[in-house]
């Protein structure tokens, strides 16, 4: 049976990307060796790094003065590496959920952390607005898409200080004005590839300003100077990321995928709002286009397990909500086709017909 992969991460990848990865693992560029077993100091490999960087710059319109780095350790390591490189005295954080909290927790190891606003009072079902960002902080950290709670900051904000964003789960889902950010980071496995590689887009002029001495592996400047090959890079993850970006470019790039993502999200949110058995959990204007969270409506709480079984039988995968929200979460990342969303909607309609 056809599976519809709504998993929150690692994400669904295009079939053509998986085929290209399988081929390169068997025989890379027709050289008779696997991409896994060649030196990363060869021309063939360096061409992959160059192409991947060029695709990032082209697809996101990254201006001059920024470096694009491919590192290890996941977004979770960036929670520590960002303050290591940027926090001298104080940093400001916006508390919009689990990941934002984890980021702030690590920053506290390096200095003072000010939480400028939080939506914890309503279990992170909205994005705080109307707060003031302290001008004396070294940077302001935001999580643009809250993967667990399904809320999203849809616009590039103006910040009076260096803006740092964890874009793990909405990178390349919409055009971004990179010039408004000092640093953007994320794990690749939510929207641009598999786990194992982390992207960091950093404006060069913000580096080298902290008083502490940085270990080499923590220093963005060293990774920039070495073209993200200070040590052996995670080759297969980078290869698959490059293929994923090539696919994105081939279908029309970020503006086109944004259109598709909006269409997918509208289709599902419209059904959640129409169907009397389900209800969305997030403030309407802050709803994520990537992670769509909903629960059983009042009076239907006892049907949750039944719907889960029903959806599973129809081929839905990865729709169980995170334990801190409950209910359901359908992740509609770039590679998820609208046909899968339609299948989910049909499933919800049929369940309502049989049960409401
Ligand atoms: C998944 C996720 C992370 C953690 O990423 P890892 O690469 O597993 O460390 C951090 N932030 C956000 C917003 C995420 O969705």
Q: Assess whether the C-beta atom of 99 lies below 6 angstroms from ligand 1.
A: yes
Q: Which of 127, 165, 168, 234, when mutated, tests ligand 1's pocket best, judged by the most ligand atoms within 8 Å of its CB? A: 168
- Which protein residue has the closest C-alpha to ligand 1 atom 3? 75
Two tokens, residue 112: 């003072």
Question: Cβ distance 98 to 145 under 8 Å?
Answer: no
For residue 276, how far is its CA from the centre of ligand 1 (angstroms)? 33
Ordered structural domains, the chain, with CATH: 15-250 (3.40.640.10), 252-355 (3.90.1150.10)
What distance in Å separates the CA atoms of residue 335 and residue 14, rounded to the nearest whole number? 6
Alpha carbon nearest to ligand 1 atom 8, residue = 74
pTM above 0.95, yes or no: yes
Residue pointed to by tokens 């990537």: 290
Tell the residue nearest (CA) to atom 5 of ligand 1: 75
Rounded Cα distance, 121 and 129, in Å: 14
Could you give the 3-state DSSP secondary structure of residue 60? helix
> Of the residues 138, 190, 219, 320, which is catalytic?
190
pLDDT in tens, 230-250: 999 999 999 999 999 999 999
Contact residues for 305 (Cβ-Cβ < 8 A; gap 6+): none
Residue 356 in this model has a pLDDT that exceeds 90:
no
Looking at 95, 166, 170, 219, which residue is catalytic? 166
pLDDT of 204 > 90? The answer is: yes
Task: Report the alpha-carbon distance of residue 97 to residue 124 in Å, rounded.
Answer: 6
* d(CA 168, ligand 1 centre) in Å: 6
Is residue 169 lining ligand 1, measured as CB closer than 6 Å? yes
Q: Is the CB of 76 under 6 A from ligand 1?
A: yes
Percent of the chain with pLDDT over 90: 99
Over residues 155-173, the pLDDT tens digits come to 999 999 999 999 999 999 9
pLDDT computed for residue 310 by the predictor = 98
- Ligand 1 atom closest to Cα of 198? 7
Residue nearest to atom 7 of ligand 1 (CA): 74
Q: Percent of the chain at pLDDT above 70?
A: 100
How do residues 133-149 score in pLDDT, each as one tens digit? 999 999 999 999 999 99
Determine the pLDDT at residue 252.
98
Quick check: is 90 catalytic?
A: no
The per-residue pLDDT of the chain, averaged, comes to: 97
Q: Which helix (H) or strand (E) holds 123?
A: none
Q: What pLDDT sits at residue 1?
A: 83
pLDDT tens profile 304-314: 999 999 999 99
- For residues 174-195, average pLDDT: 98
* d(C-alpha 331, C-alpha 338), whole Å: 12
Q: Which atom of ligand 1 is nearest to the CA of 169?
A: 15
Average pLDDT over residues 296-324: 97
Query: For the segment 265-298, what is each residue's pLDDT rounded down to a tens digit?
Result: 999 999 999 999 999 999 999 999 999 999 999 9
For 349, the token pair is: 């309609």
At 24, the pLDDT band (50, 70, 90 cuts) reads very high
pLDDT in the model for residue 217: 98
| Alpha-carbon distance values, 339 to 16, 139, 159, 316 (Å) | 17, 41, 39, 12
């Amino acid at each position: 049976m056809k599976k519809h992969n709504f998993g929150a991460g690692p994400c669904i990848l295009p079939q053509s990307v998986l085929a290209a990865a399988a081929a390169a693992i068997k025989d890379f560029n027709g050289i008779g060796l696997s991409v896994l077993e060649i030196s990363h100091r060869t021309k063939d490999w360096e061409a992959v790094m160059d192409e991947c960087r060029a695709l990032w710059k082209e697809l996101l319109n990254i201006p001059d003065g920024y470096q694009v780095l491919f590192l290890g350790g996941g977004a979770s390591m960036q929670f520590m590496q960002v303050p290591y490189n940027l926090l001298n005295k104080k940093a400001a954080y916006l508390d919009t959920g689990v990941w934002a909290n984890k980021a702030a927790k690590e920053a506290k190891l390096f200095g003072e952390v000010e939480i400028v606003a939080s939506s914890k009072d309503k279990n992170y079902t909205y994005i705080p607005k109307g707060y003031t960002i302290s001008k004396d902080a070294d940077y302001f950290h935001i999580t643009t898409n809250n993967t667990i709670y399904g809320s999203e900051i849809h616009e590039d904000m103006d910040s009076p200080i260096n803006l740092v964003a964890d874009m793990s789960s909405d990178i390349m889902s919409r055009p971004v004005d990179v010039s408004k950010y000092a640093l953007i980071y994320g794990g690749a496995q939510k929207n641009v590839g598999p786990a194992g590689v982390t992207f960091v887009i950093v404006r060069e002029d913000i580096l080298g300003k902290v008083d502490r001495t940085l270990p080499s592996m923590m220093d963005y400047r060293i990774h920039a100077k070495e073209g993200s090959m200070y040590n052996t890079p995670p080759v297969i993850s980078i290869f698959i990321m490059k293929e994923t970006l090539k696919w994105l470019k081939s279908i029309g790039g970020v503006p086109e995928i944004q259109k598709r993502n909006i269409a997918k999200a509208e289709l599902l949110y419209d059904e959640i709002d129409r169907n009397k058995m389900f209800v969305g959990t997030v403030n309407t204007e802050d709803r994520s286009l990537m992670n769509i969270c909903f629960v059983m409506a009042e009076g239907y709480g006892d049907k949750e397990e039944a719907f889960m079984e029903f959806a599973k039988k129809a081929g839905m995968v990865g729709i169980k909500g995170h334990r801190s929200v409950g209910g359901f979460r359908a992740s509609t990342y770039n590679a998820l086709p609208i046909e899968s969303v339609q299948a989910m909607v049909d499933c919800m309609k049929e369940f309502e017909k049989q049960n409401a």
